A and B are shown apart, each in its own frame.
Chain A
Amino acid sequence: MNKKSARIAASAAFCALLLCALSARAQDEAKQFPVAAKTLKNGMKVLVQPDHSIPNVALYVFYKIGSRNEHPGTTGLSHFFEHMMFNGAKKYGPGELDKVMEANGGSNNAYTTRNLTVYQDWFPHSALPLIFDIEADRIEYLQFDPKKIASEREVVASERRLRTDNDNEGLLDEQLWATAFIAHPYQWPVVGWMSDIQHWTMEDLKHHFEMGYSPSNATMVVVGDVTPDEIFGLCEKYIEPIPSHAPPPPVTTVEPPQLGERRLVVRKPAELPLLMIGYHVPQTNSPDFYALNILRTILFQGESSRMYQRLVDQDQIALDVSSYVEPAFDPTLMIIEAQPKQAVDPAKCEKEIYEELERVKSAPVTDQELEKAKNIRLVEFYHQMRTISGRANTIGTYEVFFGDYKQLFEAAAKYGAVTKEDVQRVAKAYFGESNRTVATLLPQNEEKAKP
């Protein structure tokens, strides 16, 4: 999956963090929609939140396996596997899963990140037993049809062309991660290098299934027109009998500290240049996560943010400036992206970004900025909580990255406790020259044939 989807996941985790962040009202709502939790005998955790406002259900299954569990030569395998999870098991053969699900009013999708593979089903309540039958079938009895492997390989290659090879943003992002990490598996793209896409084998897929798809490595979240008893009953019947096995081996590689700025340039035909700067930041469950998110909001969010005001509005050198961090088990990157305007040297955008970063390091942000950031986070939390699918994703993301969805109820205090000094401290800690990788895309247009 690509960076855009990663951003969606990032905002989910972020909102979860902010749950109740700053408001008693949010805490009340968390109580109003209580989550029922159960761990099945095979180790799968199941979280259920009833909400009968529409007659539909969102069912998400989070597997703690992603591209960080891969190795050179088979990069992108987690994502390819995600595709294969729709291509036939024992009861529902190739192509049948989608046909049966859609004929019963359901739809599905899935996403893979550096850390997770997540499966999503959206369906009317009437399809509930069918969905469990389908999920159980593929978790236990996934099949690998050589013909399906061949055609799906082409589908994934097309996805890579779409999101990376023919998309400047995707291309530059890939180069940035590959340069910022030299040891840790975050260095390769989730979709995989094209040559790896062309060379996975049936054995690789089987090994991946055995490694990552133990029920004990999964969390199921169900939100919508259901009751906990109903879901736990279906789990007992369909999911609990599936045997558990060993989870993926731990990722032991630690990225060594970066000892100096890294720079890279991509030259290709393009209408406009592009700039991305990546800073190493801690993993999602780090205590600094809260202050960093408040800082990002102050710098990047909304037309009153410091970066927008400076680069887009006042100096008019960029079309857009933004930042993102994806939820991560290991230390990751915070990426700043700027779209320079035509005829603007990306170096000029870079310089102004550094000046603004220096400004938050040298003087505290204002009380008003801090309060604004907290209000924006609260609204983002509401955005996530207003749909059953948003809530399923938020609860699950919280559960896997913080180890317990209940920590969501403690985030309020943690967010509320962020001070101006904290914001300044994290700015100083992470926005150093030696800690950054700078990626620039420069248009290199072929001479047009003159008539």
Chain B
Amino acid sequence: MRKHGIVRILAVLLTAAFAASASCAQALHLPPHEKVVLKNGLTLLLMRKQGVPMVNFYAIVKTGSAADPAAEAGLASVTASLLRKGTKSRTAQQFAADLDFIGGSFDAGASGDYTGISAEFMTKDLDHGLDLFSDALLRPTFPQAEVEKLLAQSLDGVKAAKDQPEAVLGPYFYGYLFGTHPYGRPSDGDEISLKKINREAIAKFYETYYTPGNTILAVSGEFNPTEMKQKLEQALGGWQGKAATAVAIPVAATVKGTRLLLVDKPDATQTYFAIGNVGTTVTDPDRVAIRVVNTVFGGRFTSLLNEALRVESGYTYGAESEFDSRKMPGAFLIASFTKNETTVPAIDLALKVLEEFRKNGVTPEQLASAKSYIKGQFPPSLETSGQLARRIALNEFYGLGDDEVNELAARIDAVTPEIAKRVIEKHFPAENLVFVLIGKASEIGPAVKKYAARQDARNISDPGYWPPEGQ
């Protein structure tokens, strides 16, 4: 395999990052779709899309792990995972048997801003599928035995993830960057927080936030829209719930100065590192220009970062940068990995590329190339009904219109060298940098001290990510 980059690192933490996907080709428009708000407040988005004979559901409950109590990180995720683990009419085992028999799928999980619930069925099984989907969404019972089982599994899941440094670079970085801000908590919880979650908290979280007025449901695929509306009205129209209060997420301040967290993994032969600071929001007016300039900097194979750290020097298999933009400012980060011996040269080089980018900006050729690249790669990101359902649901959630897709090519074309220059100065950090390294501390520890005024250290086996328990 030739390419990999940090996509997997980010995929682990950006379970639902809207900003990660690219933009649009001239010819591409969203297929026609319809918005219906039911009397109970549930927002429905219907899009007929021909292709394979399947239907995709994507629901957004407008509350995510940012609403987890500080000591109970993972509550939103655990609640979502338990939806299918026992309902008023099915045990967890019956749900699995019914779902698998028709080849259906049902997945639910939480990210910082929201909870996402996706399901997919063959069109011929639509009635059965909708019954399963609405059963899990509207009538979960959270049986105690299933709660205990899932919490134990989630805890071991954290341990399994720590055996793959790449998989936990994200949670350590977010913890260290955001600290006690809600975006600093691991969405899937950790070894400490999962032990504090109980059934009562889960049931309360569900009751408070899983309400029709707090939910958007997008449906895309092969179906008859008139029939579909009737079926959805019938299945979901009776759903009741008190209006949920929106959870306020504060704006995280940019970290001032430099700080470095070294997570010791004594058997590591390679150092995994992330460097960054607080980034921006999904709705930032600069978002399209940011996407274009980040494509040049670290968003594709021929980006400045990958050219320097991989193509020119061979330090790594991949180096990338990403704006994980959210409802409130998320993270900007550079991420890569390199063997223990080249840890310092590789980080030095990444910093040099950043500094030169801030100084020199982009050339007209780089700008043109990035625009063409984003537009050319965009259509396959909206090829399937699953991708489309998720996209229109997220647009609705973040208050973005169809223009976000339909006008994107024009917006990309409108990014001038002057705009690019301004956006780089504003959004790419200079002297304020947060570093997280996972690697063999006894080998790399002394040399990496030079990067930051403040130093912190942990062992990967220590429970939790950051901050340590009690701090």
Alpha-carbon distance A225/B87, docked complex (angstroms) = 45
Chain A residues within an 8 Å CB radius of B97: 304
Q: Which residue of A lies closest to B167 (CB)?
A: A167
B residues less than 8 Å from A158 (CB atoms): 270, 314-317, 337-339
Q: Which residues of B contact A166 (CB under 8 A)?
A: 164-166, 268-270
Task: Tell me whether A5 and B380 are in contact in the complex, defined as CB-CB below 8 angstroms, given that A102-B373, A166-B165 are known contacts.
Answer: no
Contact, CB under 8 Å: A302 / B96: yes
Decide if A137 is an interface residue (CB 8 Å cutoff).
no
Indicate if the CB atoms of B52 and A112 lie closer than 8 Å. no
Q: Contacts A99-B369, A102-B300, A166-B165 known; A272 to B156 CB distance under 8 Å?
A: yes
Within 8 A of B (CB), among A130-184: 150-159, 161-162, 165-169
B380's contact among A108, A155, A376, A387, by CB below 8 Å, is which? A387
A316/B384 in contact, CB under 8 A: no
> Which of B149, B165, B313 sits near A316, CB closer than 8 Å?
B149
B314 touches A153 (CB 8 A): yes
A241 within 8 A of B: no
A153 to B384 Cα, complex, angstroms: 38
Q: Which of B137-179 contact A (CB under 8 A)?
A: 149, 152-153, 155-157, 159-160, 162-166
Interface with B: A203-211, A321-329, A378-386, which one?
A378-386
* Contacting residues, chain A, for B376 (C-beta < 8 A): 56, 104-107, 123-124, 127
Closest A residue by C-beta to B311: A95
A95-B311, A154-B314, A387-B383 known; A319-B160 Cβ under 8 A: yes
Does A332 interact with chain B (Cβ within 8 Å)?
Answer: no
B78 neighbours in A (Cβ, 8 Å): none
Shortest CB–CB separation between residue A34 and chain B, in angstroms?
Answer: 17
Cβ-closest chain A residue relative to B165: A166
Across-interface contacts of A169 in B (CB, < 8 A): 164
Across-interface contacts of A105 in B (CB, < 8 A): 25, 372-373, 375-377
Taking a contact as CB atoms closer than 8 A, the residue among B311, B373, B382 that contacts A107 in the complex is B373
With a cutoff of 8 Å between Cβ atoms, the chain B residues found around residue A304 in the complex are: 93, 96-97, 99-101
A165 CA to B339 CA, complexed, in Å: 11
Interface-side segment among A263-271, A407-415, A432-440: A263-271
Question: Nearest Cβ in chain B — how far from A269, in angstroms?
Answer: 4
Q: Would you call A252 an interface residue if the criterion is a C-beta within 8 Å of the partner chain's C-beta atoms? A: no
B1 with A371: CB separation less than 8 A: no
Q: Is B453 an interface residue (CB 8 A)?
A: no
A182 to chain B, nearest CB (A): 27
**Closest CB in chain B relative to A5 CB, distance in Å:** 5
**A389 contacts B380, C-beta separation under 8 Å:** yes
- The distance in angstroms between the C-alpha atoms of A377 and B100, with both chains bound, is 11
CB-CB under 8 A for A1 and B1, given A102-B369, A389-B380 = yes
Cα A123 to Cα B269 with chains together (Å): 37
Residue-wise interface mask of B (366-390) relative to A, using a CB-CB cutoff of 8 A (1 in contact, 0 not): 0011001101110110111100000
Q: Smallest distance from the beta carbon of A70 to chain B beta carbons, Å?
A: 17
A/B pair count, beta carbons within 8 Å: 216
Partner of A124 from the list B25, B153, B310 (CB cut-off 8 Å) is: B25
Whether B266 is near chain A, meaning CB under 8 Å from some CB there, is yes
Query: B residues within 8 A CB of A388?
Result: 380, 383
- Let me know if A303 and B377 touch, CB within 8 A: no
Main secondary structure of the interface of B (DSSP, over half): mixed
Contacts of B247 in A (CB 8 A): none
Contact call A319/B156, Cβ cutoff below 8 A: yes
What residues of A have a CB within 8 angstroms of the CB of B372 in the complex? 102-105
The residues of A that contact B166 with a CB separation of less than 8 Å are: 162, 166-167
Tell me whether A272 and B266 are in contact (CB under 8 A). Answer: no
Inter-chain contacts of B302 with A (CB < 8 A): 95, 98-99, 102
A152 near B100: Cβ-Cβ < 8 Å: no
**A56 and B380 within 8 A (CB):** yes
- Chain B positions 33 through 73: 1 when the CB is less than 8 Å from some CB of chain A, otherwise 0: 00000000000000000011110000000000000000000
Q: How far is the CA of A279 from the CA of B87 in the complex (A)?
A: 39
Contact indicator A341/B162 (Cβ below 8 Å)? no
Compute how far the CA of A1 lies from the CA of B302 in the bound complex, rounded to whole angstroms: 21
Q: Does A246 contact B (CB under 8 A)?
A: no
B160–A272 touching, CB < 8 Å: yes
Whole-angstrom distance between the Cβ of A3 and the nearest chain B Cβ: 11
Least CB separation from B27: chain A residue: A55
A112-132 interface with B by 8 A CB criterion = 112, 122-124, 127
Q: Is the CB of A155 within 8 A of B314?
A: yes
CB under 8 Å from chain B, chain A span 202-245: none
Residue of A86, A150, A165 near B314 (CB, 8 A) is: A150
A271 in contact with B159 (CB, 8 Å): yes
How far, in Å, is B130 (CB) from chain A's closest CB? 16
Tell whether, in the assembled complex, residue B163 and residue A272 are in contact, meaning their CB atoms are under 8 Å apart. yes
| Residues A54 and B314 in contact in the complex (CB < 8 Å), given A159-B4, A162-B337, A372-B101 | no
Query: B379 contacts which of A56, A99, A316, A376 (Cβ < 8 Å)?
Result: A56
Given contacts A82-B2, A158-B317, A304-B100, contact A271 B461 (CB under 8 A): yes
Chain A proximity of B92: nearest CB distance (Å): 7
Determine whether B344 belongs to the interface, using a CB cutoff of 8 Å to chain A. no
Instruction: Note all chain A residues with C-beta closer than 8 A to B122.
Output: 375, 378-379, 382
A53 B51 Cβ-Cβ under 8 A = yes
Inter-chain CA distance A95–B314, complex, in Å, is 13
Q: Mark A267-309, 1 if CB is under 8 A from B, else 0.
A: 0111110000000000000000000000000000111110011
B227 sits at the interface (CB 8 A): no
In contact, A155 and B317 (Cβ under 8 angstroms):
yes
A339 to B51, CA, bound (A): 37
A122 and B101 in contact (CB under 8 A), knowing A109-B1, A272-B160, A386-B52? no
Q: Which 6 A-B pairs have the closest CB atoms?
A: A105-B376, A154-B314, A151-B314, A379-B103, A303-B96, A302-B100
Q: Offer 19 A-B interface pairs, CB within 8 angstroms, sorted by A.
A: A54-B379, A55-B379, A56-B379, A107-B376, A111-B2, A159-B1, A166-B269, A270-B163, A302-B96, A316-B149, A319-B153, A376-B100, A376-B103, A377-B103, A386-B51, A386-B383, A445-B461, A446-B266, A448-B461
User: Which A residues have a C-beta under 8 Å from some C-beta of B?
Assistant: 1-2, 5, 25, 29, 53-56, 79, 82-83, 86, 95, 98-99, 102-112, 122-124, 127, 150-159, 161-162, 165-169, 268-272, 301-305, 308-309, 312-313, 316, 319, 339, 341-342, 368, 371-372, 375-380, 382, 385-389, 445-446, 448
A-binding residues in B (CB < 8 A): 1-4, 25, 27-28, 51-54, 92-93, 96-97, 99-105, 120, 122, 149, 152-153, 155-157, 159-160, 162-166, 265-270, 300-302, 307, 310-317, 337-339, 365, 368-369, 372-373, 375-377, 379-380, 382-385, 459-461
Q: Taking A105-B376, A271-B160 as given, write out 8 further A-B residue pairs in contact, using a Cβ cutoff of 8 Å, ordered by the A residue number.
A: A105-B375, A158-B338, A304-B100, A375-B103, A382-B53, A382-B122, A386-B52, A445-B461
